[in-house]
Structure 1
């Protein structure tokens, strides 16, 4: 059983988390949204760091007292809750107009990308990033062009 995450592996996981979130943040940045490149990268990097810390604690206590073990799903639960709070801060309501929901959701998704990269599931992190980019760019364009014209 692996008992320690090598430093280069940690760096790779953190880099993948930051790099993939960069793509989501760039899309938000190019649209002039309040949370852009750095915000998405920092959220994903933080999520990856927290799950790596949780795994490190789990590995360190695996051979010791079983009551000292941690539940990695609780680490993920804390990450999701904390990032959800950040994402909610991007949502602004003014009368009947609501803005920032997609940016809030993309921040929350950056956390998921960070957790996936942090647990060394780069394929999942990349697929989530790719699908998120399709949703925000292609469907965003569709939403603006087709649906807006139908309303007019």
Structure 2
């Protein structure tokens, strides 16, 4: 079971997601933005794992009936985008009559 998780078709996308999100998060950390390295790595890794689960679930559910399995990775991708949008919406702060948010600007 553990050896199945170390297959290159699962390991390379995970490593790629960690590296790509670490680069983006490191740049955000360098510029002292609210969402930094840890946040980006966690979001990137969780998105990667969810999409891998969506794409490979037919192989993992091989003993289930074919009529029961409904695979639609696009719906999972849509859910991930909705969740990230919800998280980004929480970055906008209201202070009195001014609103701070994206790029830390006052409006």
Q: Same fold (TM over 0.5)?
A: yes
Q: Per the alignment, do residues 51 and 102 of structure 1 end up closer, same or farther by CA in structure 2, a change over 3 Å counting?
A: farther
Corresponding residue of 1:117: none
Query: Deviation per CA, 1:73-117, whole angstroms, max 9, x where unpaired?
Result: 1111111111222222222122453333248xxxxxxxxxxxxxx
Which ranges of structure 1 fall in alignment gaps of 5 or more residues? Answer: 104-152
**C-alpha RMSD over aligned residues:** 2.6
Kindly indicate whether structure 1 or structure 2 has the higher relative contact order, using CA contacts under 8 Å at least 6 residues apart. Answer: 1
Which ranges of structure 2 fall in alignment gaps of 5 or more residues? Answer: none
CA distance in 2: counterparts of 1:87 and 1:29, whole angstroms: 16
The two structures have a TM-score, normalised by structure 2, of 0.76
Tell me the SS of whatever aligns to 1:93.
strand
Corresponding residue of 1:54: 54
Aligned pairs, how many? 100
Query: Deviation per CA, 1:111-152, whole angstroms, max 9, x where unpaired?
Result: xxxxxxxxxxxxxxxxxxxxxxxxxxxxxxxxxxxxxxxxxx
